[in-house]
Amino acid sequence: MSPFKTETIFITGASSGFGEACARRLHKNGAKVILTARRKDRLIAIASELQSRVHVVELDVRNRLDVEQTIKNLPKEFSEITALVNNAGLALGLENAPNASLDDWDTMIDTNCKGLTYCTRAVLPEMVKQNRGYIFNIGSIAGTYPYPGGNVYGGTKAFVRQFSLNLRAELLGTKIRVTNIEPGMAETEFSEVRFRGDKDKARKVYEGMAPLTGEDIAESVCWCLSLPKHVNVNILELMPVAQASGALAVRRS
């Protein structure tokens, strides 16, 4: 069975984590996949395993011109993008705002917000023309539930949520679907990146619990894509069973 054999899916941040898992799962279900990330060596390794129906592009989504040129210059067999998975994103540091790095804040805003909008804007005109398409934005529960140290990262994911809802409002009357997927704790390279390669510190984040996996998010993307085309999932929030939102913090003297 190849339920997605008519799909051509552009995936950002496809070299690891959610992006890689989505690439493998969507490809397994028959889709053509365009894999983009900064680490081209990893993309090539994944492509060599998938063998067919895959196109690799080294891409930093923060570079607006590169995003535009990448979409414009795709090989003919990959040029009609039917779905975009805006997965590229990151958290850097866990310091409270007075001590946080402005460079880290810039990187998160440039990647999580601006990069996502660049990719979306690049694919939308053709989707509107074809009156077909699906935009998946990978947000986070951090965009809804605040936590100490989440300052700008949470702010970027709140942007992703609102941008997704605004897209739905503006695309009303077309057959283009938009879903914001908001994972909770998930064990990928996320914490490793946040803690600048400190594997022990990253591992402790998930100690004693069963977190979400990249495959769980890939399953969610596939489920949404497989729904009848008149159905739109606006926001899909997922947490591991071991995680829940807690009570509001109260500071007592």
Residues tagged active-site: 153
Cα(196)–Cα(189) distance, integer angstroms: 10
Sheet holding 133-138, edge to edge: 54-58, 32-37, 8-11, 83-86, 133-138, 176-183, 235-238
Amino acid at 108: M
**SS3 of 143, please?**
helix
Structure tokens at 125: 């005109």
Task: Report helix angle 214-226 to 17-28, nearest 10.
Answer: 50
Cα(146)–Cα(157) distance, integer angstroms: 11
Nearest of 92, 117, 96 to residue 106 by alpha carbon:
92
Cα(202)–Cα(194) distance, integer angstroms: 8
- The pair phi, psi for residue 207, each rounded to 5°, is -65, 130
For the chain, helix (H) and strand (E) counts, in that order, are 9, 7
Angle CA 89–92–94, to nearest 5 = 135
